[in-house]
Amino acid sequence: MKAYSTLKGVLDILQPEILLWNKIEEITRAVLQNFGYTELRIPIIESTELFIRGIGETSDIVSKEMYTFNDRAGRSISLRPEGTASLVRSYIEHGLNNTPQPWKYYYIGPMFRYERPQKGRFRQFYQIGAEFLGNAAPVADAEIISMIDTIFKALHLPDVTVEVNTTGCRLCRPLYRDALVGFFTSEASKTNMLCDDCKVRLVKNPLRVLDCKVPTCIELRKGAPLITEYVCDECREHDEAFKGFLNEIDIKYVENPEIVRGLDYYTKTAFEFTTEHLGAQKAVAAGGRYDNLVADFGGPKTPAVGFAIGVERLAELLRQRLDVYVCAPLIFFAVLGKEAQRMAFKLSTRYRQAGVYTEIGNALHTLKNQLKRADKMAARFVIIIGEEEINKNAVIFKDLVNHTQEEVPLEGVLGCIKGKQAAYNKQKINFS
Ligand code: HAM
DSSP 303: -
Q: Cβ distance 185 to 202 under 8 Å?
A: yes
- The alpha carbons of the chain give a radius of gyration, in whole angstroms, of 28
Comparing C-alpha atoms, which of 73, 217, 72, 229 is closest to residue 166?
A: 229
Please tell me if the CB atom of residue 60 comes closer than 6 angstroms to any atom of ligand 1. Answer: no
Model confidence pLDDT, tens digit, residues 93-115: 999 999 999 999 999 999 999 99
Using the predicted structure, report yes or no on whether residue 283 has a pLDDT greater than 70: yes
Longest CA–CA span in the chain (Å) reads: 96
Please tell me if the CB atom of residue 267 comes closer than 6 angstroms to any atom of ligand 1. Answer: no
What is the distance between the alpha carbons of residues 288 and 304, in angstroms, rounded to a whole number? Answer: 9
E strands, 261-303, are 269-274, 283-289
Dihedral angle, C-alpha 343, 347, 350, 356, nearest 10 ° = -150
Ligand 1 site-directed mutation target among 122, 127, 267, most atoms within 8 Å of CB: 127
Ligand 1 geometric centre to CA of 331 (Å): 43
Model confidence pLDDT, tens digit, residues 249-282: 999 999 999 898 889 999 999 999 999 999 888 9
Please tell me if the CB atom of residue 42 comes closer than 6 angstroms to any atom of ligand 1. Answer: no
Q: Which residues pair with 409 in a beta bridge?
A: 394
For 202, other C-beta atoms within 10 Å of its C-beta total: 18
Please tell me if the CB atom of residue 127 comes closer than 6 angstroms to any atom of ligand 1. Answer: yes
Please tell me if the CB atom of residue 80 comes closer than 6 angstroms to any atom of ligand 1. Answer: no
Residue 13 confidence (pLDDT)? 97
For 235, other C-beta atoms within 10 Å of its C-beta total: 22
Please tell me if the CB atom of residue 62 comes closer than 6 angstroms to any atom of ligand 1. Answer: no
Over residues 230-235, mean pLDDT: 97
For 272, other C-beta atoms within 10 Å of its C-beta total: 21
Ligand 1 geometric centre to CA of 286 (Å): 6
Q: What is the mean pLDDT of the chain?
A: 93
For 393, other C-beta atoms within 10 Å of its C-beta total: 10
Over residues 228-253, mean pLDDT: 97
Please tell me if the CB atom of residue 285 comes closer than 6 angstroms to any atom of ligand 1. Answer: yes
Residue 364 confidence (pLDDT)? 96
351: confidence class by pLDDT, cuts 50, 70, 90:
confident
58: Cβ contacts below 8 Å, ≥ 6 apart: 200, 201, 204, 205, 208, 264
Sequential DSSP letters for 125-170:
EEEEEEEEES--SHHHHHHHHHHHHHHHHHTT--S-EEEEEE---T
Residue 366 confidence (pLDDT)? 97
Model confidence pLDDT, tens digit, residues 44-55: 999 999 999 999
* 168 conformational bin, left if phi > 0, alpha if psi -120 to 50, beta if neither: left
Using the predicted structure, report yes or no on whether residue 430 has a pLDDT greater than 80: no
Residue 374 confidence (pLDDT)? 96
Ligand 1 geometric centre to CA of 5 (Å): 26
Q: Which residues pair with 427 in a beta bridge?
A: 326
Domains of the chain: 17-166+231-319 (3.30.930.10), 173-226 (no CATH), 331-427 (3.40.50.800)
Count the residues in the chain. Answer: 432
